[in-house]
Amino acid sequence: MKKIIIIIINIIILYCLINEKRIYGEIIKEVKITKYLIDKGRKYKGRYLIDKDINTCWAYRVKGDIKREDIKIIFILKKDIEITNISIVNGYAKSIELYKKNARIKDIELIFKRDEKEVCRKIYQLKDIYDIQNINIKLKKKVNRIDLKILDIYKGSKWNDICISEIFVNNKYNATTMYYVERIGNGISREKRDKLALKKFLSYINYKCHKCREYDSGQIEDLYKKNVKLCSQILLEISINPIRGVSINEYFGDSFRGLVWDGNTSEDVYKGISKSLKYIGYDNSKVADRIIEILNMYFEGLEDYYKYGGVKEGLGISNFNQKKHIETLNRMEEIVEAYKIYSTNQKIKQSMNKILERINKERDKWQRKR
């Protein structure tokens, strides 16, 4: 009985730690705000500002003139840091309809503090757009608290509820990708798709793949780990089911090349592809051609790696790891074997057999080196 109680306690502690990390992220420790909306028993509390989910939001119902209200949101940071940027998903971003119906913040005052002592304050005006907005701060002094004071709002077409969906501190690149992935994510296979989000997502991923060396490696590594699987899934799906007004071809090759040539993320790329194939199917020749193109990209990177004895600038496999390489080959093999089992198209099977030969040859070579 005693052992069972100890196990239950450990499970509860682990659950709390997981949720603490999920809700509060890496920089913000706590959100303090006394004013929030309670509607039909649901509480729109401040914690929804940092839960990394644009389907939730903090909200407050304005009863009179906003300028007479004293609405202040306090962000307690985990440590003293220099603030470079703050990203805000304004309004209720669950849908464009809810965004318009509810009020959004317009003018805000950011007050930066360290141990209750004010360092500086700045006033900013946000645009009334259904999109993520990044504010460049470039504060050279370290702070551990940010107070956000709402000065003015954009009125909603139906309700006077002020809404903010997400706020990020010093996390511009992760925040941007998270936002577009959230807007596309689960709706990618439905008839109704968010064209604007798709365009911006593709542009952003393509840009990131080319410019990742210019940014902090920790941010890019974190971005890859959290989003590369879903990015791969979305890229493949919209390449097969193109949307009018969204040109996938100009992004597809370069985006996947940027993803698969990174040895730390290539395994997750193929996980994303496998997930997509479960409902896309295995008999579509266009899909198969795309898959072969993606698989060959990885081998192109290997050839450059061998040719130059390491990583050539802009090519090859960065941070090459033998164990990870073999795991990636195993994931590739799973995709090829699935085609051999489920596809009835003999031409596709023949193409996949050639890829399988290449996988086996490469894997045997590295297993002998172990």
Domain regions of the chain by residue span: 27-169, 178-369
Scanning the chain, the segments in alpha helix (DSSP H) are 2-24, 96-101, 172-184, 195-211, 217-240, 249-260, 266-280, 285-308, 322-342, 346-369
The yes-or-no verdict on residue 104 having pLDDT over 50 is yes
Tell me if 233 sits within 8 A of 184, measured CB to CB: no
Helix axes 195-211, 217-240, angle to 10 degrees: 130
* Buried b or exposed e, range 205-217, using 16+ CB within 10 angstroms: bbebbeebeeeee
Tens of pLDDT, residues 87-99: 999 999 888 889 9
CA quadruple 328, 199, 51, 59: dihedral, nearest 10: -170
What local confidence, expressed as pLDDT, does residue 178 receive? 67
The Cα 207–Cα 182 span in angstroms is 19
State the pTM of this model.
0.60
In the 8-state DSSP scheme, what is residue 162? E
CA atoms within 13 A on the CB side of 23: 15
Indicate the pLDDT class of residue 236, thresholds 50, 70 and 90.
confident
> Is 107 exposed, middle or buried (CB count within 10 Å of its CB: 0-12, 13-18, 19+)?
middle
Tell me if 52 sits within 8 A of 19, measured CB to CB: no
Closest listed residue to residue 170, CA positions, set 142, 125, 137, 144: 137
Spell out the CATH class of 27-169. mainly beta
Indicate the pLDDT class of residue 254, thresholds 50, 70 and 90.
low
Tell me if 107 sits within 8 A of 124, measured CB to CB: yes
Tens of pLDDT, residues 280-298: 778 878 778 878 888 887 8
The yes-or-no verdict on residue 163 having pLDDT over 90 is yes
Tell me if 234 sits within 8 A of 256, measured CB to CB: no
Q: Token pair of 29, please?
A: 């420790």
Biggest CA pair distance of the chain: 75
CA distance to 51, 121, 234, 258, 345, per residue, from 238 (Å): 27, 44, 6, 18, 22
What local confidence, expressed as pLDDT, does residue 187 receive? 47
SS3 label, residue 216? coil
CB count within 10 Å of CB 193 equals: 17
**Percent of the chain predicted with pLDDT > 90:** 25
Residue 161 or 248, more confident: 161
Indicate the pLDDT class of residue 264, thresholds 50, 70 and 90.
low
Residue 51 or 253, more confident: 51
Residue 136 or 233, more confident: 136
What local confidence, expressed as pLDDT, does residue 317 receive? 46
The Cα 271–Cα 186 span in angstroms is 17
Long-range residue pairs from 325-329, CB within 8 A, at least 24 positions apart, any chain: 325/263, 325/366, 326/363, 326/366, 326/367, 327/267, 328/263, 328/266, 328/267, 328/270, 328/298, 329/359, 329/362, 329/363
